[in-house]
Structure 1
Amino acid sequence: MTNKQKAVAYWKENIKYLVILLTIWFLVSYGAGILFKDTLNTFKLGGFKLGFWFAQQGSIYVFVILIFVYVRLMNKLDKKYGYDE
């Protein structure tokens, strides 16, 4: 595999990871916090309705977790294509 082919494959896989992780974040932040809030509000978490909790804090927690997942995925991807330090 040439350097250009490696770079194209690397970025294609990187974009795939980004799309998947951003879709998860969108579903959690917009879906759970806005679209499905009425259904989620039937449950409580820490004394607050679950839909409200996702809108206020849950989406932020998920975003931070997704950052760590992305770092881990990118470290594996760097090693796979030989771009690690």
Structure 2
Amino acid sequence: MPNSSGRMTEYWKKNLRTLWILLSIWFVVSFGFGIILVEPLNQLKIGGYPLGFWFAQQGSIFVFIILIFVYVARMNKLDKEFDVNED
């Protein structure tokens, strides 16, 4: 395989980029919405509870679970693109 190490470097760069983006989203949702912006968000209600409270208690967990599925889908696509898939 010509230039195999270059392709693996590119693969890991894309993998780490995906990780940083997803972790940044989770940080914004859990820390930003659940702690920093809790007061403005508490002006809105979801299911009878203040939105800031909801993000702090459940929203960040839901977002984390969604991000796990996004990561799996992205990595499957990346694995196929670089021919390192396990299928």
Poorly superposed stretches of 4+, deviation over 2 Å: none
CA displacement, residues 38-73 of structure 1 (integer Å, 9 cap, x when unaligned): 110000001100000000000000000000000000
Q: Give the share of equivalent positions with the same residue, in percent.
A: 56
Question: Which sections of structure 2, spanning at least 5 residues, go unmatched?
Answer: none
Number of residue pairs the alignment of both structures matches: 85
Partners of 1:25 and 1:62 lie apart in 2 by 7
TM-score of the superposed pair, with normalisation by structure 2: 0.95
Partners of 1:33 and 1:63 lie apart in 2 by 13
Question: Which sections of structure 1, spanning at least 5 residues, go unmatched?
Answer: none
CA displacement, residues 12-35 of structure 1 (integer Å, 9 cap, x when unaligned): 000000000000000000000000
Q: CA RMSD in A?
A: 0.7
AA matched with 1:59:
S
